[in-house]
Structure 1
Amino acid sequence: MIVLAIETSCDETAAAVVARDGAATGRVLSNVVLSQLAEHRPFGGVVPEIAARSHLDHLDSLVQRALDEAGLGFDALDGVAATGGPGLIGGVFVGSMTAKAIAAARGLPFLAVNHLEGHALTARLTDGLAFPYLLLLVSGGHCQLVEVAGIGRYRRLGGTVDDAVGEAFDKTAKLLDLGYPGGPAVERAARGGDPRAVKLPRPMAGKPGCDFSFSGLKTAVRQARQQLALFDDQAAADLAASFQAAVADVLADRCGHALDSFAADTGQRGPLVVAGGVAANQVLRARLRHLSASQGTRLIAPPLDLCTDNAAMIGWAALERLALGLSDPLDFAPKPRWPLESLTGAADT
């Protein structure tokens, strides 16, 4: 089976062609991503109206490019997929309507993919991972720990009670004048800093459960900067490194609790999968790799280009659903909010 997939939930316009061979072997035939960073950088963050207009301007050409790079035409497709939510609703509308139009014109199944499910299933595309597994989903808008039992079968163990970790990275970068986007900027600055230079809190660490909190950590970074008599490049690097170390410690602590809960529920300890844009952070990966080894399990982290928003993960999630006989009506309404645990699988329909 082969699908064309579209991703427009935030500030990347993306199209991909993905194939599924056999039970769970995937091939990415093309994966095209057009970043809008230059358009949003002057504003220090994503402007929804600008994002939607940019998707509208570029999506048709990206779809054609994805097909050309795959060496296929529309007649080779078995389905058309697009992110149906959650995300910035203007962008989600652009992608969904484009996919619906292609599906209607070609008489193909349409699949509205939950963006979070795309991240959740990426490890099955890259590593052929079997169910169940534990997922740490960390991005600009999401921070949660989830048991992944099957397609459409998700149980949330914990989430953030305030800010997502990616948002904390962005706001820390802004506080330290490091530029946009915040995640890569903090990681770059932190390479020249001392992670022990500034004492910062580890919110929720050591407490029962699997929830997160990052607003207090952001406040501590702001206060630490205000207390500095001299704020130069080295001070920024030290604060960035200290913040990054605090985040890694918190995520590792929460994942340790989640692995205990996962073992109690499933009888197995892991594997632990980390996905989402923040999963590209190498310090975080190393910290979670150490945690997994100490817990007698393994960490699975997708390649960097499949951690950030991309259409290949949307295509794979669509293929997983299509293989179960699932598709969506053309009157599907895009959703700005769409909890992962609200999804259903073939057994639930």
Structure 2
Amino acid sequence: MTEKENIYILAIESSCDDTSVAVLQNDTVLSNVVASQKIHKEYGGVVPELASRAHQQNIVPVTNQALARANIDKKQLSAIAFTRGPGLMGSLLVGTSFAKSLSLALNIPLIEVNHMQAHILAHFIKDESMAMPTFPFLALTISGGHTQIVEVNDYFDMRIIGQTLDDAVGEAFDKSAKILGLPYPGGPLIDKHALNGDPTRFEFPKPKVKDLDFSFSGLKTSILYFIQKQTAKHPDFINENLEDICASIQATIINILMDKLKKAVKQTGIKNIAIGGGVSANSGIRSALKEAENKFGWTTYIPKFEFCTDNAGMIGIVGYHKYKSGQFTDQGITAKARYSLTS
């Protein structure tokens, strides 16, 4: 491909509390800048109003930094890709409005991206050290807001075959951490403490949910009642058993995910498995997938850490493939807080 044929995508991600802008040359990420918002730690969770204000402050300097790191002038850009949804409406509006304005000012195409589709297609970012999935494959998308098993037949041919009926797996991790008195975000801290704990020490019930769907609300409640009961008898119970508690919680959640994934493989006959979303950074889940690969003959695809959490690189790779197939949008586009993967 010659220089004139190169496609340069500037991608914007603002679905929650991270402002991210990336520049891609075809399917290669040249820069991927993320500005995290620390203020939410004070409140134990993301505050939507504060998140949208921070996006307004961050989006211009983050864009300038992404262009500078990529050594690309904005006049070289082929298109602007942005997260349309799902996510927090205020946060999405900042990214959507900025993307529309930039597209209009530069007179280049605008491409809307589904955030969950981007988590799946992040596997197609070119990287010599990482293998790309072959179609068809099953994608387990696990994040703070979503838990889904998706049958992926092509870049834009996806079918949800299982999803959570209530809480997402990331919320289960974070709420469990909050019960234990760990600071936000607590999911990574549970993973950290679990590394040195006994996953069989404490037993928590696994919900009985039909087909390939998930439920985590009951698990959170059982963990809460367990901790309340134990601390009533032994006030220092959490401190004395923190590593074992975290390991047991994590093992239960991983078993729930893996049981459904095994069932999905059996039903579809597809043994190519890819994970995505913020929770895919969890070391226990990664280990469980590798173990299943050896035990059941699966081929597993695990993204780099920088492409697990919310980032614009994954938005850009969707933008690149949409650009090639002529899937552009117009200035009348609006953000969608609830945006189904298959809509």
Instruction: Identify which range, 62-71 or 325-334, moves more after superposition.
Output: 325-334
Are 2:227 and 1:221 aligned?
A: no
Q: What are structure 2's unaligned runs of at least 5 residues?
A: 1-6
Q: Structure 2 CA distance, aligned partners of 1:213 and 1:281?
A: 19
Alpha-carbon offset, residue 208 of structure 1: 5.2
* Other-structure match for 2:66: 66
Are 2:263 and 1:286 aligned?
A: no
Q: Structure 1 CA distance, aligned partners of 2:112 and 2:62?
A: 19
Q: Under a length normalisation based on structure 1, what TM-score does the superposition of the two structures give?
A: 0.92
* C-alpha contact 1:159 1:210 (8 A) present in aligned 2: yes
Are 2:119 and 1:119 aligned?
A: yes
* C-alpha contact 2:307 2:313 (8 A) present in aligned 1: yes
* Other-structure match for 1:161: 165
Alpha-carbon offset, residue 294 of structure 1: 2.2
Are 2:247 and 1:245 aligned?
A: no
* C-alpha contact 2:180 2:238 (8 A) present in aligned 1: no
Alpha-carbon displacement from aligned partner over 1:103-140 (angstroms, at most 9, x marks no partner): 11111000111101110101122533332211000000
Identity, % of aligned positions: 40
Q: Under a length normalisation based on structure 2, what TM-score does the superposition of the two structures give?
A: 0.93
Alpha-carbon offset, residue 91 of structure 1: 0.7
Alpha-carbon displacement from aligned partner over 1:26-52 (angstroms, at most 9, x marks no partner): 21100000111x210010000000000
* C-alpha contact 1:114 1:338 (8 A) present in aligned 2: yes
Which amino acid in 1 is paired with 2:301? I
Instruction: Identify which range, 91-100 or 207-216, moves more after superposition.
Output: 207-216
Q: Structure 2 CA distance, aligned partners of 1:261 and 1:314?
A: 30
Q: Structure 2 CA distance, aligned partners of 1:291 and 1:215?
A: 26
- Root mean square deviation, CA, Å: 1.2
Q: Structure 1 CA distance, aligned partners of 2:281 and 2:188?
A: 9
> 18, 22, 25: which is aligned to 1:12?
18
**SS at structure 1 position matched to 2:274:** strand
Are 2:134 and 1:130 aligned?
A: yes
> 222, 242, 247: which is aligned to 1:236?
242
Aligned residues: 329
Question: How does 1:82-161 map onto structure 2 within 5 Å?
Answer: 82-126=82-126, 127-161=131-165
**SS at structure 2 position matched to 1:340:** coil
Which amino acid in 2 is paired with 1:253? D
Q: Structure 1 CA distance, aligned partners of 2:294 and 2:95?
A: 40
* C-alpha contact 1:122 1:313 (8 A) present in aligned 2: yes
**SS at structure 1 position matched to 2:202:** coil
